[in-house]
Amino acid sequence: MDLKQLECFVRVVEFGSVTRAAITLNLSQPVVSRHVRQLEVELKEHLLERNGRGVIPTDAGKRLLERGRGILHQVRLARQEIEDLRGSPAGKVVVGMPPSVGKSLTVDLVSDFRAEFPRASLGVVEALTVSMYEWLLLGRLDFALLYNPPVTQQAAYEHVWSEDLYLIGSRGLDGKPMPASVKMRELANYPLITPGQPNAIRNLLDVQCARLGVPLSVELEVDAIESLLDLVDRGMGYAVLSRNAIYGRAHRPNLHASRIVSPSLTSQLVIATVSQRPLTRLAQSTIDLIRKRIQGGILAGDGQRDAPRGRA
């Protein structure tokens, strides 16, 4: 399989157009089409099909797309490692992080990165832990900040932060103000709006409540946190999230957070890397920048609490 063929295929799918992919690759449209066709002949599968708006991948094309992105990423990493030997790290590093962490960390990380590595570029992907874990294993991310990831031999975890979870609502039961704290057994009284499974916080909530025999009333499942909070703000239910989810949100002044107690519900944030995939010097240095920011308390604005650090 030729790397140029693979790159042409991936770019065509990403842009949904042979013409736009050709412009990005600085190739002519016939050359891009020929590369994709040669790839189809080699694999003996149709990879693309046309619709009214451009081209989309077939089922075989979707499978190749995920693997192809990972292969191209690994080639780029190999080039970076060789370039790094010539001086200041160059190339690109891609980090994944949850939206609640990105809100506090991304701007400062970008500023630190630009000052430290002027020859390099940084990509920040914000998504839920389940998606980022999969992308990490596929090679689309160099490393990721994850909440409560699954125990596995494929990934290595460095525990960097702990944060208590809160019951988020616009008002308490019967129209009363939100209490300062809520016992975990009392969660059964609140209609909840949560992300659907698989989701790191939802899984933690389900497991701990099942262990205590607390029946949850999940009224709605909404994966997009912003939409979820909009529904909570309108009084349609309650969410279980870190307080950081509403910290600094002036456009939602009606939302209040009640700490979950007896016992507390604590989420663990880790830096995740792939066990058998060595990090480039640029990626390791970027982890160092993130670690310094977290140790400096950048996530502590909402009353979260730090945690011992170490390999998990």
Instruction: Specify whether 175 is located in the same domain as 258.
Output: yes
pTM: 0.63
Instruction: Specify whether 37 is located in the same domain as 174.
Output: no
The whole-number pLDDT of residue 87 equals 61
Q: What does the block give as tokens for 236?
A: 């349609």
- Domain interval for residue 279: 81-160+269-311
The whole-number pLDDT of residue 273 equals 95
Task: Count Cβ atoms within 10 A of the Cβ of residue 94 and give its class: 0-12 exposed, 13-18 middle, 19 or more buried.
Answer: buried
Burial call 288-299: b when 16+ CB within 10 Å, e when fewer: ebbeebbeeebb
Q: What does the block give as tokens for 203?
A: 């899984």
Residue with the two structure tokens 């702990």: 162
The whole-number pLDDT of residue 277 equals 84
Q: Cα–Cα–Cα angle for 280, 285, 286, nearest 5°?
A: 100
Instruction: Specify whether 274 is located in the same domain as 154.
Output: yes
Instruction: Specify whether 189 is located in the same domain as 237.
Output: yes
The whole-number pLDDT of residue 115 equals 93
Closest CA to 147 of 136, 168, 162, 166: 162
Which residues, including other chains, have CB under 8 Å from residue 137's CB and lie 6 or more apart? 154, 155, 274
**Mean pLDDT per 10-residue interval, the chain, length 312 residues:** 89 89 88 92 91 87 89 82 68 90 91 92 91 88 92 91 91 88 94 89 91 93 88 93 71 85 92 89 93 85 44 44
Q: Is-contact 168 238, C-beta < 8 A? A: yes
Instruction: Specify whether 262 is located in the same domain as 276.
Output: no
